[in-house]
């Protein structure tokens, strides 16, 4: 229950044992899916209510992610970091995020809050491997890099219900998805403005 099945299978292989700290550069898509309003919920509700509600939302999301062979990288508070590899990884990531957004918005409101999500997606090269400390005997099989950072920054500027991508992603999917140009945006720790698009459907 604590490790994604794909990672668990990899951990049981000889490849994993032989190359514990080896990493590789992969072409993939990463998405950050954050649930709106949880900070305000935490302030006024009992912890068991918050955790139960969060887990129900996460369970809905994870089912859609697994259906498209996405890899749950980690849960970060009220946010999920997801990685998609293989054929059409960007298209599959966007399809999943559209489905999640729509299904979350169809849910009934709980404790005076209507569920919504903020989503940022980016694709490109990223470093994939075991990150952590062998001394502590604690590692995460994860992805890192500028592509990942940009996805997180896009999620951080998304409005309620928005799915944001950058221009490079837009050029790859503009024939498949309906996207609206938001314009140039300053993202944290980025020296140049980024052209941002919202995926509508």
The residue that leads in pLDDT, 55 or 37, is 55
What the chain holds in terms of domains, given with CATH numbers, is 24-199 (3.30.70.1230)
Q: Would you say 57 and 115 are in contact if contact means Cβ atoms under 8 Å apart? A: yes
Give the angle subtended at the CA of 127 by the CAs of 7 and 150, to the nearest 5°.
Answer: 110
117-133 and 163-166: which strand pairing?
parallel
Segment holding 101, helix H or strand E: helix 89-106
Name the CA radius of gyration of the chain, rounded: 17
Q: What global pTM score does this model have? A: 0.85
Confidence of residue 164 (pLDDT cuts 50, 70, 90): very high
- DSSP letters, 118-174, are EEEEEEEEEEEEEEEETTTTEEEEEEESHHHHHHHHHHHHPPTT-EEEEHHHHHHHT
Give dist(CA 33, CA 19) in Å, integer.
31
pLDDT tens digits, 22-41? 678 999 999 999 987 666 66
Residue 61 pLDDT: 94
Query: Tens digit of pLDDT for each residue in 167-184?
Result: 999 999 999 999 999 999
Residue 137 Rama label (left phi>0; alpha psi -120 to 50; beta): left
């Amino acid at each position: 229950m604590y490790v994604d099945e794909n990672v668990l299978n990899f951990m049981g292989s000889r490849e994993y044992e032989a190359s514990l700290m080896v990493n590789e550069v992969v072409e993939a898509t990463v998405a950050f899916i954050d649930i709106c309003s949880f900070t305000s919920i935490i302030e006024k509700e009992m912890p068991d209510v918050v955790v139960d509600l969060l887990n129900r939302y996460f369970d809905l999301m994870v089912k859609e992610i697994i259906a498209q062979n996405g890899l749950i990288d980690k849960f970060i508070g009220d946010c999920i970091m997801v990685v998609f590899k293989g054929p059409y990884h960007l298209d599959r990531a966007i399809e999943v995020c559209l489905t999640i957004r729509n299904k979350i918005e169809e849910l009934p409101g709980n404790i005076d809050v209507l569920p919504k999500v903020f989503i940022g997606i980016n694709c490109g090269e990223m470093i994939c491997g075991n990150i952590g400390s062998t001394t502590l005997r604690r590692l995460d099989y994860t992805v890192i890099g500028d592509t990942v950072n940009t996805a997180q920054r896009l999620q951080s500027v998304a409005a309620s219900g928005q799915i944001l991508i950058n221009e490079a992603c837009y050029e790859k999917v503009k024939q498949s998805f309906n996207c609206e140009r938001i314009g140039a945006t300053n993202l944290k720790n980025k020296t140049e403005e980024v052209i941002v698009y919202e995926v509508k459907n």
